[in-house]
Chains A and B, each alone.
Chain A
């Protein structure tokens, strides 16, 4: 069965510092991975997906099949990045989510 692990429940980073949110997965097939974000009082929304290889709001994530990881990175944190971040794996049309990391950017 597939599993997504986000080892950090909470992460605090100073404004302007680099950010890395960790995500590891276990899945026997070829994974399709996503990062979803939930800002305060807003609904869950897609941040990025690995197949598009885009940079959204300065965030990037690279799929590393050898390490089964899909870490989310941003070189310079901004205050508006404070939010809850969920890593998710898609299989058989449904998403399996990690438990999420609450990112707080310290001004």
Chain B
């Protein structure tokens, strides 16, 4: 499968714990995006990278959230001290720089108890 992959697909954690998600983009894509989707809503932009540089962060991304793309390939999204309001589907997408079509991964569903 040469599409965007995400790991894990599901994560259940207790409030206050830290969690980390991984995204592997399509190999030639230099842009990588993170979105969050809650029930009944469309995906909401969190942050994006061009190669290893994080170029924009949404105000939705509080200080407890951090994202990295250390070698310009895979990316990780970490949430520290999780809260019940963090429960959502976390989507990753990738694209070529000069072509706006974003290809989405299957998502990681986070449940915070």
Contact = CB atoms under 8 A, between A and B. Distances in A.
Interface of A: 4, 9, 32, 34, 43-46, 49, 86, 88, 90, 92-100
B104 A93 contact: no
3 shortest interchain CB distances as A-B pairs: A97-B42, A44-B104, A94-B45
Given A99-B41, A100-B41, 9 more contacts: A32-B100, A43-B107, A44-B91, A45-B103, A45-B104, A49-B100, A49-B101, A93-B56, A96-B45
Chain A interface helix/strand/loop/mixed: strand
11 contacts: A43-B4, A44-B104, A45-B104, A46-B101, A46-B103, A94-B56, A95-B45, A97-B43, A98-B42, A99-B41, A100-B42
Interface string B51-94: 00001100000000000000000000000000000000001000
Contacts, number: 49
A97 B104 CA distance: 14
A85 to B, nearest CB: 10
Contacts of B106: 43
B33 interface: yes
A99 B42 contact: yes
B109 to A, nearest CB: 13
